[in-house]
Amino acid sequence: MHFHIIPTAIIDGTLYILILFSVVTWTLIIFKSWQFTNNGINNKRFNSVFWEQADLASAEKLPDNVFKGPQARVALQGLNWLYHNSQFTGKKLKFLGAPADLLEQSLIEQMQKEQHTIESGITMLASIGSTAPFVGLLGTVLGIMHAMHDITASGSTSLDVVAGPIGDALVATAVGIAVAVPAVLAYNFLLRQAKKQRTGLENFISSFMHIAFCSGFLKE
C-alpha cells in the first residue's frame, strides 16, 4: 500500500535535486565569471602601475588601492618578505637559508592561496555535470515503474493510458541532461580561465624574482 507514496516522493525529490543543481550551477557561473573578469581588470591595472616604477623601493610606496587582484597580492607578499628579511635576517628561523629560495617559497605559497580561491567552486560544476544525468535517469526509472504499476492496476493497455505516464517519467531524464550540459560547458571554460590566471601568476613570480636579483636584494 505504500508503493504509490514512496516512488512518487522519490520522483519529486529527484526533480527538486535537479532544480537545486541548476540553481547552484548558474550561481557559480555568474560568480566565477565575475571573479575572473574582476581579477583580469585588477591584474591589468596593477601591472600598468607596478612595472612603471623605477625600483622595488618605489613600488613598495604605492598606495594600498593599487594592490588589488591576485598578482598584486603576490607582489605585496614578495615586498613584505624582502622588507622583513632585511630587518630580521639571522634573528628568526624563517629567514635562515638562501634568500632566493626563501623568497620564491613565499611567493609560491601566496600563489597557491590565490589559485585555491580562483579554482574554488569549479570542481562542483564537474560533479554536477557528471551526476545530474544519473539523478534524472533514476527519476525516470522510478517513474516508469510507478506508471507500469498504475497501468497494471487499471487493467488497460491502450496507447493513451501508457504513453502519458511514461512520457511524464522521461521528463526527469530530459531535465537531468538540461542541467548537466551548462555545468560541463561552464566547467571546461572556467578551468581554462583558471589555468590562464595561474600561468599569469607563475610568469609574475619569475619576473619578480628577476627584478629582486637586479635590484641587489638577492645574490645569484
The reply to whether 32 falls in a domain is yes
Q: How far apart are CA 123 and CA 187, in angstroms?
A: 8
- Band (pLDDT 50/70/90 cuts) for residue 98 is confident
Is the residue at 67 inside a domain?
yes
CA distance 109 to 19: 38
Q: Which domain covers residue 191, as residue numbers?
A: 5-137+172-214
Residues with Cβ < 8 Å from 114, sequence gap 6 or more? 70, 73, 74, 201
pTM of the model: 0.80
Instruction: Confirm whether 57 is domain-assigned.
Output: yes
Residue 161 lies in a domain: no
Q: What is the pLDDT of residues 47-90, one digit of tens each?
A: 999 998 888 888 888 888 888 999 999 999 999 888 877 776 65
Q: Which residues contact 157 (CB under 8 A, 6 or more apart)?
A: 151
Within a domain: residue 163?
no
Q: What is the per-residue pLDDT for 1?
A: 41
| Domain annotation covers residue 159 | no
Count of the separate structural domains present in the chain: 1
pLDDT in tens, 115-142: 999 999 999 999 999 999 999 888 888 8
